[in-house]
Chain A
Amino acid sequence: MTPKSVIYDQGYRRYEGRYLGRGYAIWSLFASDLRRALGMKRSWQYKVGLGILTTIIFAQALTFFFVSTVGPAALITPQAMLFDGMSFFLLILSAMIAPDLLCTDRRYRVLPLYLVRPIELYDYLLAKQAVLVGVVALASFIPQLGIFLAKALIAPSALEYVSTHGWMVGASAAASLVYALFYGAIASAIAALTPRWSYAAGAIIAVPVALGLASGIITILTKNPWWQLLDILSFPSALKDALFGVTIQATTFTFRMGREGEIPREVTMQPLETWIYGVAAGAFIVGALGILFARYVRARYE
């Protein structure tokens, strides 16, 4: 009788196959971290948090789609408005992902195990940053693409809609990348400063919000428009408006000063030029990534 199966207990064997290069190592780190960021093999709490955020972002997209379809004709670029609605949730998404990508490895001292392998510190940071920027950019772009396609489908001529409004897809993609790069830089710089997930996540949300509030108060009190640059969340917003051709008007605030409100006072805030926001955003991203790298150079030797 011929045996149907045979077990060969060869035990532990030396590896005789080929080793792949540094690019593959970076890709494998990116791929495994991307799976983690998307909630695969994660706790139910992480999955629920991610699900809630995604639902909110897509619900906003759906709302803007309906409003722009049945609402006033002026609302021709719902994508631009969608950014304003979802930008805070993109910040929360960054606050969920960045500490998970960066703090965990330092907190549990896994970093040396990566760095004794054939990758460099900047390869490691590149892979982590690519995951963060990639997820935030996709979370931002996919709903906008959905709005565009839905509007094209309900337009009298889909082809005509695509040809006349096709630029919006490019603008949406570029704006998504700007937001993702900017939020990615903020989140990773803050996450680099602490090994604690909760501290980093809290700070990533609290610091920009606090700066925004401070910016508003100081600008109104001093009437100096340059204080608007303290509101770092306005940088990507201003660049997004420029990409969609939206013009920001000056904003006038009316106050009644004094204990009894007897002194009416008006303050008009003039928006800064777009190029100023561009320069500020670029400098901020470079500075934040510099903090990230400097912190990791030090962490490597700890």
Chain B
Amino acid sequence: MVETYNLTKYYGKTPALQGVSVRIPPGNVGLLGENGAGKTTFLKILLGLLAPTAGSARLLGRDLSDRELRRRVGYMPEEDCLPPDLSPMDFVVRLGRLSGLPYRAAMERAHDVLYLVGLGEERFRPIGGLSAGMKQRVKLAQALVHDPQVVFLDEPTAGMDPQGRDEMLQIIRDLRDKLGIHILLSTHLLLDVERTCDAVVILKEGQVIAQGPLAELLAGLEERVYVRVAGNPHEFAQILQGAGLRAAVVGTEIAIESDAEGLYEIIWKEAAQHHVQIRRLERQGRTLEQLFVRLMSL
């Protein structure tokens, strides 16, 4: 879907991207990184809104200067980008026509995509009177109106309530599963990526520090177990450390990360030997958050 070679961008003397070379496969891909990691710069270069200082990139097998490419790409920006006095219908029709849709087709598709994103009669109300969640849906609708092959989503669930967020994530999954539209999702919400993406690219200070299928990256993590004990957790944490486990106190619990065989047996055995009462023991699957925190701390 996306190939970049040594992509570099400087704002004055400040580097935003430093030699980014990635090969992003088709599908739903999450673009992760802390604030200022270069995610938005990366997206804007791929969209042709920014020129790279050095390096090159190809999207859907085409050079970024190819104007035809723009018919195949949709973009949902993070920031508010909607004129308040227009209705969603008028706005989406307007942008559909700019993408080359004939008037009648633009009207039909505007109705279709606004319905798809969950806007009913609200599509005829001025955008200025819509809630933050509805505005997010309008932003998604304009990115889809011209039926792109790939859509870049920048923080698509920002400002949405839990139910709206669930619906938005379901739409994003459906875009790939039912409509075959590829997604590049830039977000801070790691759970959103876990729920919608097959692969991730993680940026740190303008450089790629990890990329690949999510399952493969998570498989490299150690299992994490949380233990709550009666009494002082620090003492038991030290005991577990003495038994060769990587244990640390997190709040009132002890977090243990280990791939050791028979991890639970070791914990039970140490607890029994030292007369420590275990109140709760919970295994947490390998999470993107775990991977992200580990990579950011390197």
Interface residues of A (CB under 8 A from B): 12-15, 17-22, 24-25, 28-29, 32, 41-43, 104-105, 108-110, 112-119, 300-301
* From B98, B102, B112, contact of A29 by CB (8 A): B98
Establish whether residues A301 and B81, one from each chain, have CB atoms under 8 Å apart when the complex forms: no
Are B95 and A117 in touch, CB under 8 angstroms?
yes
Q: Is there an interface contact between B112 and A113, defined as CB atoms closer than 8 Å? A: no
B231 interface residue per 8 A CB criterion: no
Contacts A15-B105, A15-B146 given; does A113 touch B83 at CB 8 Å:
no
- B81 and A17 within 8 A (CB): no
Q: How far is the CB of B91 from chain A (nearest CB, A)?
A: 9
- Interface contact A113-B79, CB-CB below 8 Å: no
Of chain A, the residue at the smallest CB distance from B99 is A117
| CA gap between A109 and B77 in the complex, in Å | 10
Closest A-chain residue to B102, C-beta based? A20
B105-A17 in contact (CB<8A): yes
Residue contact B83 to A19, C-beta cutoff 8 Å: no
Contact of A24 with B90 in the complex, beta carbons under 8 Å: no
Select one of B75, B109, B112, B179 contacting A116, CB under 8 A. Answer: B75
B66: nearest chain-A partner, CB-CB: A118
- Minimal beta-carbon separation of B108 from chain A (angstroms): 9
| Bound complex: CA A119 to CA B95 (Å) | 11
Shortest CB distance B87–A (Å): 8
Q: Is the CB of A28 within 8 A of B97?
A: yes
**Segment from B47-55, B191-199, B272-280, B284-292 that makes contact with A:** B47-55
Closest to A108 in B: B83
Residue in A17, A105, A113, A115 with the greatest tally of chain B CB atoms within 10 Å? A113
Name the distance in Å between B75's Cβ and chain A's nearest Cβ. 5
Please indicate the chain B residues that have their CB under 8 angstroms from the CB of A24 in the complex. 97, 100, 102
Query: A112 and B105: CB pair below 8 A?
Result: no
Question: Could you tell me if A28 and B94 are in contact, using CB atoms closer than 8 angstroms?
Answer: yes
Q: Which of B75, B81, B142, B147 contacts A109 (CB 8 A)?
A: B81
Task: Find chain A residues with CB under 8 A from B13 CB.
Answer: none
Cβ contact within 8 Å between A117 and B49: no
Q: Which residue of chain A has the shortest Cβ distance to B86 in the bound complex?
A: A41
For the complex, give the distance between the alpha carbons of A46 and B101 in Å.
Answer: 30
Nearest B-chain residue to A42, judged by Cβ? B85
Are B49 and A118 in touch, CB under 8 angstroms?
Answer: no
Least CB distance, A301 to chain B, in whole angstroms? 6
Q: Which of B54-92 contact A (CB under 8 A)?
A: 67-68, 70-71, 73, 75, 77, 79-86, 90
Which residue, of A17, A43, A116, has the highest number of chain B Cβ atoms within 10 A?
Answer: A116
How far is B22's CA from A210's CA once the two chains are assembled, in angstroms? 57
B116 within 8 A of A: yes
Distance in angstroms between the alpha carbons of A41 and B100 in the assembled complex? 23
Q: How far is the CA of A42 from the CA of B86 in the complex (A)?
A: 9
Taking the complex as formed, is B140 at the interface, i.e. its CB lies under 8 A from any CB of chain A?
Answer: no
Given contacts A108-B83, A118-B67, is CB(A113)–CB(B101) below 8 Å? no
Q: List 16 A-B contacts (CB under 8 A).
A: A12-B116, A15-B147, A17-B102, A17-B105, A19-B146, A25-B98, A25-B100, A29-B94, A29-B98, A32-B94, A41-B86, A109-B81, A113-B95, A114-B95, A116-B49, A118-B70
Q: Provided the pairs A25-B99, A28-B94, A108-B82 are in contact, do residues A19 and B71 lie with their beta carbons within 8 angstroms? A: yes
Q: A15-B101, A17-B105, A41-B90 are in contact. Are A117 and B70 (CB under 8 A)?
A: yes
List the interface of chain B (C-beta within 8 A of A).
47-50, 67-68, 70-71, 73, 75, 77, 79-86, 90, 94-95, 97-103, 105, 109, 112-113, 115-116, 142, 146-147, 179-180
Return chain A residues, CB-CB under 8 Å to B99. Answer: 19, 25, 117-118
Contacts of B84 in A (CB 8 A): 108
Q: Which residues of B contact A32 (CB under 8 A)?
A: 94, 97
**Set of chain B residues within 8 Å of A17, measured between Cβ atoms:** 101-102, 105
Q: How far is the CB of B233 from chain A (nearest CB, A)?
A: 49
B112 touching A13, Cβ below 8 Å: yes
The complex places the Cα of A119 from the Cα of B82 at a distance, in Å, of 19
For the A-B complex with A113-B77, A114-B95, A118-B98 known, give 12 more contacts whose Cβ atoms are closer than 8 Å.
Answer: A12-B112, A12-B116, A12-B179, A14-B179, A15-B105, A21-B100, A25-B97, A28-B103, A41-B90, A113-B75, A116-B75, A117-B70
Whether the Cβ atoms of B90 and A110 lie closer than 8 Å is no
Q: For the complex formed, measure the closest distance between the CB of B154 and the CB atoms of chain A, giving whole angstroms.
A: 11
Given contact pairs A12-B179, A104-B83, A108-B83, A116 touches B70 in the complex (Cβ within 8 A): yes
Q: How far is the CA of A117 from the CA of B112 in the complex (A)?
A: 20
Report yes or no: B50 in contact with A108, Cβ–Cβ below 8 A. Answer: no
Closest to A15 in B: B147
- Asked if B113 and A113 sit within 8 Å, CB to CB, the answer is no
A22 touching B109 by the CB < 8 A rule? no
Question: How far apart are the CA atoms of A29 and B99 in the complex, in Å?
Answer: 11
Give the CA-CA distance A154 to B107 in the complex, in Å: 49
Q: Which of chain B's residues have a CB closer than 8 A to the CB of A42?
A: 85
Q: Are B49 and A115 in contact (CB under 8 A)?
A: yes
Tell me the smallest distance from the CB of B24 to a CB of chain A, in Å. 18
Give the complex CA separation of A301 and B94 in angstroms.
22
Contact partners of B75 in chain A: CB under 8 A: 112-113, 116
What chain B residues lie within 8 Å of A116 (beta carbons)?
Answer: 47-49, 70, 73, 75
Contact, CB under 8 Å: A110 / B83: yes
Q: Given that A12-B113, A13-B112, A15-B146 are contacting pairs, would A112 and B98 also be in contact in the complex, using a CB cutoff of 8 Å?
A: no
Give Cα distance in the complex from A22 to B98, angstroms: 8
> What's the minimum C-beta distance from A48 to chain B, rounded to whole angstroms?
16
A114 and B98 within 8 A (CB):
yes
A108 and B80: CB pair below 8 A?
A: yes
